[in-house]
Amino acid sequence: MRPIILCFGGLDPTGGAGIQADIEAIFQTGAKAMSIGCAITAQNTKRVYKIKPIAPKWIAWQSQYVLEEFDISAIKIGMCANKTVVKTIAKIVKTLPQVPMILDPIITSGMGDDLGGTELALAIRKYLLPLSTVITPNMIELQKLSSAEVLENKIADIKNTGCKNILLTATDSSGSKSKVTHYWFGKEQKSFTYPKISGAYHGSGCTLAASLSSFIGQKIPCKKAAKMALNYTWRTIDKSCIMGRQQQLPERKV
């Protein structure tokens, strides 16, 4: 029987990111996604035009009736949209203290659209980082989550919130390699490098966090799960397809 991953996220009409990306990536990596809608977006692969957060009571109701029936193996959090949604999700996560939680701190879109501003970043830091087993920020998101000046101090600052692991992506790095560093607090730091794939991709961050939650939900140790999720995500990008006129969409069946 597939383990169940409870996903909090937004609706992306393109299917490239958000809830649809979670469902595809989690199923393809061996688990089952159950999705709690937290926002509706009007977007394509060019940009996010509008966001409508879901009312907290609806987020709570969705979660309540799923949790009454199903045992959850991991939690994956994506788009939260605003501070109120963040606080609602945190309250739900606290009722499941033994369930690992993977957080994709979506503060900006891949094309640079601001998806909640400073208030959202501060809410994520205050309410969700302390509950997180792993967070998967890119460099822009890390900068918004910590005001420390240098990278080492940012990492230490995030650790002090209670967050247990950071899987930090730097896919926009120069040169022929993309670098991802796993800060495994209290134990070690490990960097992974992959051949850099040219182009722009819509939903790669969602794919990474969702596949990581799937592997952790299957009780694979975090260090190994991170490597498996990175390998899977790289393959989805390598096999990505051009369906529209802007960013490419990861091919998650790989």
State the helix-helix crossing angle for 204-217 and 222-238, rounded to 10 degrees. 140
CATH, range 4-238: 3.40.1190.20
pLDDT tens per residue, range 162-184: 999 999 987 555 566 677 788 87
pLDDT tens track of the chain, all 254 residues? Answer: 999 999 999 999 988 899 999 999 999 999 999 999 999 999 888 888 999 999 999 999 999 999 999 999 999 999 999 999 999 999 999 999 999 999 999 987 665 556 667 899 999 999 999 999 999 998 889 999 999 989 889 999 999 999 999 999 875 555 666 777 888 775 668 888 888 777 777 788 999 999 999 999 999 999 899 999 999 999 998 887 777 666 777 777 87
Beta strands 101-103; 134-135: pairing state: parallel
**What are the residue ranges spanned by the domains of the chain?**
4-238
